[in-house]
Structure 1
Amino acid sequence: MKSRQIKIFTIIGLLALIALQSIWLYNTYILFSNRIYSDSNDILKKSLNREASIRFAQTPKGTIISGATTPAKKNDVIVPEIAYMNEALQKLGLELSLTDIDSLANDFLKATDTKSTIVICLMDSKTKEIWDKSKNNLNIHSFGIIKTDIVPVRTDLSQGVQMILINPYYTIIKRMGLLLIATVILMIFVVGCIAYQIKIIARQNKIAQLREDFSYAMIHDMKTPLSSITMCTDFLHSGRLDNKPEMKEKYFSIVKNEANHLLTLTNKILTLSKLENHKLEIDKRNILLKPVIEDLKEKCIAKSAKPIHFTIDLEAKKVYTDEEFFTELMSNLIDNAMKYSKESIEIKISSHCDDRYTIIKICDNGIGISEKDQKIIFDKFERTSATKRTKYGGPAGFGLGLNYVYQVIEAHEGKVYVNSIEGDFTEFTLFIPKIMEEL
Structure 2
Amino acid sequence: MLLWNDIKEKAEEQLWVSAELEVIYRVESMPDADQPREILSGPIEDAGNLTKMIVPLHESLIQWGFPIDMSQLDSIYTSKLKEQHIQTDIVLNHINMKDQSVIQSAGASGVSSLGAIKTEIIPIREDGSEGIQAVILNPYVTIFERMGLILIATALIMVFVAACIVYQIKVIFFQNKIAKLREDFSYAMVHDMKTPLSSIQLGLRLLYSNKQTGEKREKSFQIVEDEVAHLLALTNKVLTLSKMESGKLRLDNKKFRIAPVINDLIEKFSVKAGKETLFSTDIRQELVYGDEEFLKEAISNLIDNAIKYSGDSVRIDISVGSDDTYTWIRVKDNGFGISHQDQKKIFEKFERAAAIDRNRKGGAAGFGLGLNYVYRVAEAHGGEVRVFSIEGQSSEFTIYLPILIQTIETL
TM-score where L is the length of structure 2: 0.80
Asked if structure 2 preserves the Cα contact closer than 8 Å seen for 1:414 and 1:431, the reply is: yes
User: Can you list the C-alpha shifts for 1:357-410, whole angstroms capped at 9, x where unaligned?
Assistant: 321122334444445544443332222331449999842211211222122223
1:328 positional shift: 1.2
1:268 positional shift: 1.7
Task: Rate the CA distance shift 1:352–1:255 in 2: closer, same or farther, 3 A.
Answer: same
Matched, 1:258 2:227: yes
Give the distance between the partners of 1:132 and 1:153, measured in 2 at CA: 14
Matched, 1:95 2:64: no
Q: Match for 1:328 among 297, 308, 317?
A: 297
Amino acid at match of 1:139: V
Matched, 1:364 2:336: no
Matched, 1:121 2:93: yes
Identity of aligned residues (%): 46
Asked if structure 2 preserves the Cα contact closer than 8 Å seen for 1:210 and 1:381, the reply is: yes
Q: Match for 1:105 among 77, 82, 107?
A: 77
Q: Match for 1:40 among 2, 5, 11?
A: 11
Q: Match for 1:432 among 384, 395, 401?
A: 401
Give the aligned partner of residue 217 of structure 1. 188
Matched, 1:399 2:368: yes
Q: Which moved more, 1:195-204 or 1:221-230?
A: 195-204
Give the aligned partner of residue 318 of structure 1. 287
Asked if structure 2 preserves the Cα contact closer than 8 Å seen for 1:122 and 1:162, the reply is: yes
1:301 positional shift: 3.5
The aligned runs of 1:218-367 (5 Å cut-off) are: 218-242=189-213, 245-342=214-311, 344-367=313-336
Asked if structure 2 preserves the Cα contact closer than 8 Å seen for 1:121 and 1:131, the reply is: yes
Give the distance between the partners of 2:333 and 2:59, measured in 1 at CA: 105
User: Can you list the C-alpha shifts for 1:179-210, whole angstroms capped at 9, x where unaligned?
Assistant: 44444444444443443344344334433332
Matched, 1:192 2:160: no
SS at match of 1:134: strand
Task: Rate the CA distance shift 1:119–1:203 in 2: closer, same or farther, 3 A.
Answer: same
1:87 positional shift: 4.5
Asked if structure 2 preserves the Cα contact closer than 8 Å seen for 1:66 and 1:84, the reply is: no
Asked if structure 1 preserves the Cα contact closer than 8 Å seen for 2:27 and 2:37, the reply is: no
Give the distance between the partners of 1:128 and 1:426, measured in 2 at CA: 91
Matched, 1:206 2:181: no
Amino acid at match of 1:298: E
Q: Which moved more, 1:97-106 or 1:386-395?
A: 386-395
Give the aligned partner of residue 149 of structure 1. 120
Q: Match for 2:135 among 164, 167, 177?
A: 164
User: Can you list the C-alpha shifts for 1:205-249, whole angstroms capped at 9, x where unaligned?
Assistant: 43333233222221111111111222233334334445xx45444
Give the aligned partner of residue 16 of structure 1. none
Task: Rate the CA distance shift 1:392–1:351 in 2: closer, same or farther, 3 A.
Answer: farther
Q: Which moved more, 1:343-352 or 1:100-109?
A: 343-352
Give the distance between the partners of 1:361 and 1:111, measured in 2 at CA: 80
Q: Match for 2:382 among 383, 405, 413?
A: 413
Asked if structure 2 preserves the Cα contact closer than 8 Å seen for 1:315 and 1:350, the reply is: yes
1:44 positional shift: 1.1
Q: Which moved more, 1:186-195 or 1:102-111?
A: 186-195
1:327 positional shift: 1.6
SS at match of 2:72: helix
Give the distance between the partners of 1:423 and 1:359, measured in 2 at CA: 25
Give the paired residue count: 396
Give the distance between the partners of 1:202 and 1:181, measured in 2 at CA: 31
Task: Rate the CA distance shift 1:129–1:387 in 2: closer, same or farther, 3 A.
Answer: farther
Give the distance between the partners of 1:364 and 1:80, measured in 2 at CA: 105
Structure 2, unpaired ranges of 5+: 41-50
1:63 positional shift: 6.4
RMSD: 3.6
Task: Rate the CA distance shift 1:116–1:136 in 2: closer, same or farther, 3 A.
Answer: closer
1:329 positional shift: 1.0
Give the distance between the partners of 1:63 and 1:265, measured in 2 at CA: 108
1:162 positional shift: 1.5
SS at match of 2:67: coil
Asked if structure 2 preserves the Cα contact closer than 8 Å seen for 1:98 and 1:120, the reply is: yes
Give the distance between the partners of 1:363 and 1:314, measured in 2 at CA: 14
Give the distance between the partners of 1:270 and 1:178, measured in 2 at CA: 54
Asked if structure 2 preserves the Cα contact closer than 8 Å seen for 1:386 and 1:393, the reply is: no
Give the distance between the partners of 2:102 and 2:362, measured in 1 at CA: 84
1:90 positional shift: 4.2
Asked if structure 2 preserves the Cα contact closer than 8 Å seen for 1:80 and 1:152, the reply is: no
Task: Rate the CA distance shift 1:391–1:343 in 2: closer, same or farther, 3 A.
Answer: farther
TM-score where L is the length of structure 1: 0.76
